[in-house]
Amino acid sequence: MKQHFSNEKYDFFKYDGKVNAKESTYQQRNDFYFFESLARKLTPIEIKEYLLSNFVYADNPSKVWIGNIKRSGKDNWIKWQKQNQNLSYNFKQDLNKIVSLIEARGCSFNDLFDCTYGHPPLLKLYIRKEISLETVIILDMVLGFMLRWDQRMDDPLWSALSLKIKKYKPFMSIPVKDYKKLMKDTFI
């Protein structure tokens, strides 16, 4: 999973989570026992969610190491589960924050995505942790603005975040039509 989040070319789904590594090399790793204990305690799906949550909540997923996962892994997993179990409710709450921003600034919905003067207001909401990463991804699934952001913004913060979003998006299997309806109900 670390390869997936740190290497643009590696796709967890394409390779079914497999990497070129020998069993003997794996057994010689210092963190071998940690992974073995996870395998005994959790189901394969739970292990995937556990690791995914730690990469999603990391500031820079390519710099996550086993010490981070040992220290805050379970807390990240619980936080991720809560976020995804209440995804539509959390999305509605984030949409309400976006509406408040539009009203406070007196701007249009389209202005949220404008990156003419640097980071767009929507991205700033995420950076300030006022809306969730999942909300940004769902909005992109409905509206498809990330390609334009990738073309117009060239800074290290956006590059790292863009890769994280692209790599996290395939893990989110959501009914896009339902979320599009939530958006219409909120903004129209």
Same domain, 31 and 123: no
Same domain, 30 and 94: no
Residues 7-58 have pLDDT tens digits of 999 999 998 888 888 888 888 888 888 889 999 999 999 999 999 999 999 9
| Domains of the chain: total | 2
Question: Where is the domain boundary, 53, 84, 115?
Answer: 84
| Separation of alpha carbons 25 and 41, rounded Å | 23
**For all residues of the chain together, what is the average pLDDT?**
93
Write the CB contacts of 142 (distance below 8 Å, at least 6 apart in sequence): 176, 179, 180, 183
Same domain, 182 and 112: yes
| Separation of alpha carbons 138 and 179, rounded Å | 7
80 band by pLDDT with thresholds 50, 70 and 90: very high
Same domain, 90 and 80: no
Same domain, 123 and 180: yes
Same domain, 103 and 124: yes
Same domain, 149 and 100: yes
Same domain, 68 and 158: no
| Separation of alpha carbons 68 and 61, rounded Å | 11
Question: Where is the domain boundary, 84, 105, 131?
Answer: 84
Exposure of 135 by Cβ count < 10 A (0-12 exposed, 13-18 middle, 19+ buried)? buried
99 band by pLDDT with thresholds 50, 70 and 90: very high
CB-based contact 1:17 (threshold 8 Å): yes
Find the domain containing 59 and state its range.
2-84
Q: Supply the CATH number for residue 118's domain.
A: 1.10.220.50
| Separation of alpha carbons 23 and 21, rounded Å | 7
Quote the percentage of the chain above a pLDDT of 70.
Answer: 100
121-141 mean pLDDT: 96
| Separation of alpha carbons 89 and 80, rounded Å | 14
| Separation of alpha carbons 144 and 150, rounded Å | 11
User: Among 2, 4, 3, which Cα is nearest to 169's?
Assistant: 4
The whole model's pTM is what? 0.91
Same domain, 137 and 112: yes
Question: Where is the domain boundary, 36, 51, 84?
Answer: 84
Same domain, 45 and 116: no
Which value, in Å, is the radius of gyration of the alpha carbons in the chain? 18
Same domain, 78 and 95: no
Same domain, 37 and 17: yes
100 token code pair:
């408040």
